[in-house]
Amino acid sequence: MDSLTHIVLGACIGEVLLDKNAGRKAMLWGALAQSVPDIDFIAGMWMPVSTELLAHRGITHSFLFAIFIAFFLALIAARWHKAEPISMRRWYWFFLIEILCHLFLDAMNNYGIGWFEPFSDKRIAFNVLYVADPLFSIFPFIAFVFLLFLRTDHRHRLRWARAGIIASSLYWVFAVYNKYKIDYAVKETLAETDQIFLRYITTPTLLNNFLWFVVIEDTSGYHVGYKSILSKNNFIPTQYFPKNEKLLQPVHDHREVMELKQFSQGYYTVEKHQDTLVFNDLRFGQINGWQNPKSGFTFHYYLSHPADNDIVVQRGRFAGFNKESAQLLWKKMLD
C-alpha cells in the first residue's frame, strides 16, 4: 500500500496495542514500524531499474526480516522507554504485529512481495486492493487526525483508533468479496467458449475497488477488458494484445530482460516503436484503458533505451488522466 496508509494505520494499531502506557509515542512507534519494510528504496537508488523492481518488496518484506527487525526495534524502544511499564516482550510483539500488518497489506496489491525470501524468490500477490485506495485509507486517516488532537487521557482515544482499524478491515472484506465475484464472472466467460486459455488475473483499477481490470492469457497473447462489480452483464474482453515473444530473441539472455520476465510473473507483451523495444507488464493495467481499449500499459520498460526508465512503474499510472477520463472511470465503476 502507499506510505500514507501504512503510517496512519500503523499509528491506530499502535494506539490500540500500547493504549495509554506510551501516550502519543505509541502512534509514533506504530507509524515508524509500519514504514520500516520500505527502507529497501535506499538500496534501489544504486541499482539498475530492472534489478530495483525485484529488490523492492523483497527481503525487507519477508517474514525472516520481520522477526529480526522486530527484536532490534524492541531493544531500542525498551531502552528508550525505561520509565514506561512496557516489557521487552510486549515491545517485541508490538513491532512484530505492526510489521506483519505491513507485509499483509502489501500482498493485497499486484506488485508482488517476497514473504519467503531468501529461501524462495516466489512473489505473493493477491490482487485485492489497488496500491492506493482512498476508501480503504480514509477511515484510519480520520482516526489518526482525531488522535493527534485528543488529549492522551481522553476516554474516546481508544474508540477512535479501533474504529479506524475496524472500518478498514470491513472494507478489506468487501474487496475480497469483489475479487471473488469478478473471478467467478471470468470463469463463467471461459466456460462458455471452446478456446484454450492458460490462466488469467483480475486486479482493481486506479484508486478504487469497483472497476476491475482482467487479463486472460491464451497460447499467443492476452485478452483484456474491464468489469464492474455492479454490472450484471457477462465479462467480455475488449482488446487483444499479442505477446510477440520473438521480438525478445536478440536480447533474451540479457540480465534486464530476465529480471523483467521474473518481475512480471510471465504477464508481458513486447512491442517495437520505431527503433525502441518496449516491454509491457500487463499486471498494472492500461493507461486510461477504460477510455481507450487500445491504450498502452502503465508499466512499460524501454529495453533499447534503459536510461529513460526512471520511476518506470509510476510512468503511466496517471499519464493522460484528466477530468474526462476521471468522469468515464466513475461511470464505468457504476455501470
**Within a domain: 241:** yes
**Within a domain: 86:** yes
**Within a domain: 184:** no
- State whether 57 and 106 are in the same domain: yes
**Within a domain: 271:** yes
Q: Partners of 278 in the beta sheet?
A: 271, 302
The number of folded domains in the chain is 2
- State whether 170 and 225 are in the same domain: no
**Within a domain: 179:** no
Q: What is the pTM of this model?
A: 0.91
Residue 21 has a pLDDT of 65
Residue 84 has a pLDDT of 79
For the chain, the maximum distance between any two Cα atoms, rounded to a whole number of angstroms, is 70
Which residues in the chain land under pLDDT 70?
20-21, 306-320
**Within a domain: 185:** no
- State whether 206 and 248 are in the same domain: yes
- State whether 45 and 106 are in the same domain: yes
- State whether 241 and 166 are in the same domain: no
- State whether 77 and 25 are in the same domain: yes
Checking phi first, is residue 19 left (phi over 0); if not, alpha (psi -120 to 50) or beta?
left
- State whether 216 and 270 are in the same domain: yes
**Within a domain: 143:** yes
- State whether 272 and 157 are in the same domain: no
- State whether 158 and 38 are in the same domain: yes
Residue 294 has a pLDDT of 87
- State whether 35 and 73 are in the same domain: yes
Domain boundary among 174, 204, 220: 174
- State whether 27 and 165 are in the same domain: yes
**Within a domain: 313:** yes
- State whether 229 and 301 are in the same domain: yes
Domain boundary among 119, 139, 174: 174
Domain boundary among 141, 174, 207: 174
Domain range for residue 170? 3-174
